[in-house]
Amino acid sequence: EKGIETGRIFVDGKGVGDVGDLVLRDRRHLSEDGLVIASLVIAKGTGEILSGPEIISRGFILEEVKPEILDAGKCIMFEVLDRALDESPELDCADLQMEIRRELKRFFQRVLERRPVIYPIIYEI
């Protein structure tokens, strides 16, 4: 006699059973702690801010405290950019994104005791 396989099978769009552990972990993290998108448009070469910073959040912050927290996050982005420009006139967007992610992560952990997924986006024009 053949046995019958039992267990969980995850369905993801058209894929059945091919949802990996990393995907599930990311989804759990998003559902529990939310998402922050931090964007900034800077001039290529000079680092001058052309637009932003902007912070968009989903699923992790109460509406009544949202403006104050997000404004503080924007100030952190200004500080990170200023430090980067002081250290070197040649900006490395990848390094800048990592530093913004790190500083915002520390801030949200300290102030809200939450660890949202943070996606910094920097456009150079």
Is 6 a domain residue? no
Question: The domain containing residue 68 runs over which residues?
Answer: 34-124
Backbone φ/ψ region at 101: left (φ over 0), alpha (ψ -120 to 50), beta: alpha
Q: What's the pLDDT at 81?
A: 92
Is 63 a domain residue? yes
Residues 60 and 26: beta-carbon distance below 8 Å: no
Residue 70 has which token pair? 């997000």
The pLDDT tens digits of the residues spanning 47-61 come to: 889 998 999 988 877
Residue 10 has which token pair? 């995850």
Q: What is the rounded average pLDDT of the residues 95-109?
A: 95
The helix (H) or strand (E) run that includes residue 87 is: helix 66-87
Residues 60 and 35: beta-carbon distance below 8 Å: yes
104 vs 32, higher pLDDT: 104
Here the CATH number for the domain that contains residue 57 is 3.10.20.580
Is 26 a domain residue? no
The pLDDT tens digits of the residues spanning 36-93 come to: 999 999 998 888 899 989 999 888 776 666 788 999 999 999 999 999 988 887 788 8
Specify which residues 96 forms β-bridges with. Answer: none
Backbone φ/ψ region at 113: left (φ over 0), alpha (ψ -120 to 50), beta: left
Q: pTM of the entire structure?
A: 0.76
Amino acid found at 3? G
Is 9 a domain residue? no
Q: What's the pLDDT at 33?
A: 85
Is 98 a domain residue? yes
Q: What's the pLDDT at 6?
A: 75
